[in-house]
Structure 1
């Protein structure tokens, strides 16, 4: 017996349609999209296949962000369904939408969508279950969160530079040192006025930079000289405006440091997961730990693919042949 189960998933429920190998509807019902609902779905599936010899059991649902994640993982890992060789497919909604065009006179309802998904499975054009194992799902969430934090930190740094140009408009042009190094950040947190910086003894400023920079400056006196040159050539602000810029810069520095701290925490978690995964990606020139983790997270277990062409197609890196006549 061959069974094909289509699920149309929303945030609050799942429409279920079960077809046999001939396309006959055996059952259709609705369950809630939560643990009790998924458990009920499993029980009804097991009841449907009770005392039957099952050759194929495929369960399909569209990829709908977080809504499809939990039911797909629940059904994929369920031991009772594994006994019957159940395979779970999370499919691109575009595939289902294109397939549905062949049903030209069909309405658009969730129940019908569940039927279309089940019928798509029945045609057997889906050879690979794209549900990833837990460690790859965890790695994917970590790498995507890291990417989001990097984007947010970049935006915050742009915000910082914009307000730095208000306080000292020639700083970025004159000072040949990273604005976002620890020494520079500490300098801005001191909230010196431009006049105070301009008249600060050069040796004292150089010593401050060397201390906060943990002796990483090759020539701290040269950097201190360039800072004072930038300060003296910059426009002066009213005190009330300069004070407000100091508050904004200080706040921005704390936000940037928070992002940096969180990125380090995520990097530790990524490193721990990567230690348990065998791979050779970092042997490729230009591929470091970050890129390797991101690639592995998105691809998942490599044995899901028959060869490199399947990987390329999964990534969208292929060209379809168009030939006629």
Structure 2
């Protein structure tokens, strides 16, 4: 950059309700401190007050730790008004804070540390790029993940209730949370609701619930299992029955929400024109997760940079010419988790044919497992993850489809 003495460095500690900014010069002398509300309508006034305190000959450079969450609206405002905005990695400001003999922790001090990182690392800090499309996609991905987690918990709770009412409930249906099964649990949450219900009546209910796929034999087997379980009726059964119905309703709601969210995710990634779904094991959900965590692929100059960001590349620790590579625990752990599951899918064998889903990566996996004496398959899977990073980087960079070719 140009002579740093021509700039004022503004570190901003962002929060939901208010932000704190500290301005320093090239020699880290404090020029001003500001606290203002986290509202777009307030930002112009903040800039006005900033200009009144800062010498006119100084250009402004802003540094924010969080440009995708609490600081997103401020970052967007500053970029739209053509200010330089840098994204400060929280690890940098944390290290700066700990470098002092006495460690402090308050908004003003945090903002000052961010400003000092700006001065020291201005040439390596990335430009903030709060892209609405990637940000929106990430919100959908996180919302879906939250609902999936809640759905899993609700399924466990449903099983706990069914275990107490229907001892043999797992034998009733092939899918315990299938469409027909849910209709049955809602209509008959406990055996007490089946009293005086004939085989014919139960069969007619099951036929309607299953679109005519259940037979008289299914109704007979269910009633037979219930008779074999004995009397499971307990006090306050009516209230527990309502719990089962509540779980059923919530499972249906979650599934509808997940389907709706996925339809929007599909529309969003179609605008980006990436073709990640052509890669083995990648559907709309996985593609959305990868894109949401990576963001604009042009942020990364190479696949090596992306590998470090995904915590796939090892970190070297050495001293006096001696050292070793160790597994990195830094980087984006969510992206790392997605890549790990995707790597496992690449080396899976299909149930019907017994053939690998991705023959090329499967052969590579076998070579890597053969090279290592350890019984653990994780190191070989990490090698697959690294190969996937190269593939994904190339596909996103060039917007090309995945072509499985031996080379």
TM surpasses 0.5: yes
Name the TM-score class by shorter chain. 0.7 to 0.9
Tell me whether 120-129 or 156-165 shows the greater mean CA deviation.
Answer: 120-129
Deviation digits for residues 76-110 of structure 1, max 9, x if unmatched?
A: 3x2x2x1x5x1231532x33111222232564443
Q: CA offset at residue 65 of structure 1? A: 8.5
Gaps of 5+ in 1: none
Question: Which residue of the other structure, out of 170, 179, 193, is the alignment partner of 1:182?
Answer: 179
Corresponding residue pairs, total: 314
Q: CA offset at residue 201 of structure 1? A: 4.4
Q: What pairs with 1:144-293 in structure 2 (closer than 5 Å)?
A: 144-172=142-170, 174-191=171-188, 194=191, 197=194, 200-215=197-212, 217=213, 220-238=215-233, 240-293=235-288
Give the structure 1 partner of residue 313 of structure 2. Answer: 318
Gaps of 5+ in 2: 1-5, 321-407
TM (normalized to structure 2)?
0.68
Instruction: Please state if 1:35 is matched with 2:40.
Output: yes
The CA distance in 1 between the partners of 2:7 and 2:305, in whole Å, is 26
User: CA 1:120 to 1:175, structure 2 compared with 1: closer, same or farther past 3 Å?
Assistant: same
User: CA 1:49 to 1:29, structure 2 compared with 1: closer, same or farther past 3 Å?
Assistant: closer
Q: What pairs with 1:93-172 in structure 2 (closer than 5 Å)?
A: 94-105=91-102, 107-124=104-121, 126-172=124-170
The CA distance in 1 between the partners of 2:28 and 2:313, in whole Å, is 33
Tell me whether 18-27 or 3-12 shows the greater mean CA deviation.
Answer: 18-27
Quote the RMSD (CA, aligned, Å). 2.9
Give the structure 2 partner of residue 73 of structure 1. Answer: 76
The CA distance in 2 between the partners of 1:105 and 1:166, in whole Å, is 58
The CA distance in 1 between the partners of 2:102 and 2:242, in whole Å, is 64
TM (normalized to structure 1)?
0.84
Asked if structure 2 preserves the Cα contact closer than 8 Å seen for 1:89 and 1:130, the reply is yes
Asked if structure 1 preserves the Cα contact closer than 8 Å seen for 2:67 and 2:130, the reply is no
The CA distance in 1 between the partners of 2:128 and 2:207, in whole Å, is 53
Larger relative contact order (Cα-Cα within 8 Å, sequence gap ≥ 6): 1
Q: CA offset at residue 319 of structure 1? A: 2.2
Q: CA offset at residue 299 of structure 1? A: 1.5
Tell me whether 110-119 or 151-160 shows the greater mean CA deviation.
Answer: 110-119
